[in-house]
Amino acid sequence: MTPRRESPGVADAVLSVRNLETYYGPIMAIRGVSLDVREGQIVTVLGANGAGKTTLLKTISGVMEPEKGEILYGGRDIAGAEPDEVVRAGIVHVPEGREVFPLLTVAENLAMGAYTRRDPAGARDDEEMVFSYFPILKERRRQAAGTLSGGQQQMLAIGRGLMARPKLMLLDEPSLGLSPLLVSEIFDIVGRLNREQKVTMMLVEQNAVVALDVAHYGYVMELGRIVMADEARLLLESKDVQEFYLGVKEETQRGQKRWKQKKTWR
């Protein structure tokens, strides 16, 4: 990590991404993304399949290395830092598809989340904190994670992330594959964790309605670029966002071309 020279654009931003570019070989997946995550907020990044949301989170968490740009966090540029260094700095990534350790128990999975910590007593307290938000995990603490339902695995993935006592949590599509009831339960808890545990969140979602409902601020991403940014409640009311999601619906119903050809963002 290199020391930062100038101050970021938004005064109370915990994370500022500037002109980020990330490639898969010759394919440019992130095309000059800039965004800010304010301390204490939930910031959502919306976008269809393949927009680049996962790649963006992987670049912030150090799983992928950017070709260009800055990731300013805590007064430093962490672009290209190793994933464990990023975790130690206070950023945890809860990946898409949960990715819990299936053969380990719930308790062992949670313990893995605390691997960077040197305060066993604090980690034990945080395990109780996780259980207070997800009581089902306490009931199943000795059960192999692979035998949990999808919703319980998502709770475990978030719980494991919390065990690192993050300042910033990167959440990749927690709604994926879950019933509407579970989605609303998990998003309620995400909102509570933000308010009560003061975890700043960057939430990547395709489910715009639930994400904008819990978030303070939102960005819309398409083809590797940010095409819209506003307060979450304004995005929710925005005709463009509503039309975007109607467009997606029309596409699946009638097998028509992309909405973008009807609606221009840029």
Residues that bind ligand ATP (CB under 6 A): 24, 27, 29, 47, 49-55, 96, 206
Contact 130/155 with Cβ under 8 angstroms?
A: no
Tell the smallest beta-carbon distance from residue 53 to ligand ATP (Å): 4
Tell the smallest beta-carbon distance from residue 20 to ligand ATP (Å): 12
In three-state form (DSSP H/G/I as H, E/B as E, the rest C), the secondary structure along 91-141 is EEEECCCCCCCCCCEHHHHHHHHCCCCCCHHHHHHHHHHHHHHCHHHHHCC
User: Which of residues 65 and 237 has its CB atom nearest to ligand ATP in the complex?
Assistant: 65
Tell the smallest beta-carbon distance from residue 176 to ligand ATP (Å): 8
Tell the smallest beta-carbon distance from residue 250 to ligand ATP (Å): 19
User: Which of residues 52 and 166 has its CB atom nearest to ligand ATP in the complex?
Assistant: 52
Q: Quick one: residue 47, left, alpha or beta (phi over 0 = left, psi -120 to 50 = alpha)?
A: left
* CA 217/CA 210 separation, integer angstroms: 13
Tell the smallest beta-carbon distance from residue 51 to ligand ATP (Å): 4
User: Which of residues 65 and 196 has its CB atom nearest to ligand ATP in the complex?
Assistant: 65
Q: Give the Cα-Cα-Cα angle 86, 164, 148 (nearest 5 degrees).
A: 115
User: Which of residues 106 and 170 has its CB atom nearest to ligand ATP in the complex?
Assistant: 170
User: Which of residues 50 and 122 has its CB atom nearest to ligand ATP in the complex?
Assistant: 50
Residue type at 182 in one-letter notation: L
Tell the smallest beta-carbon distance from residue 106 to ligand ATP (Å): 26
Contact 241/220 with Cβ under 8 angstroms?
A: yes
In the chain, helix, strand, coil percent, each to 5?
Answer: 40, 25, 35
* CA 204/CA 130 separation, integer angstroms: 22
User: Which of residues 49 and 261 has its CB atom nearest to ligand ATP in the complex?
Assistant: 49
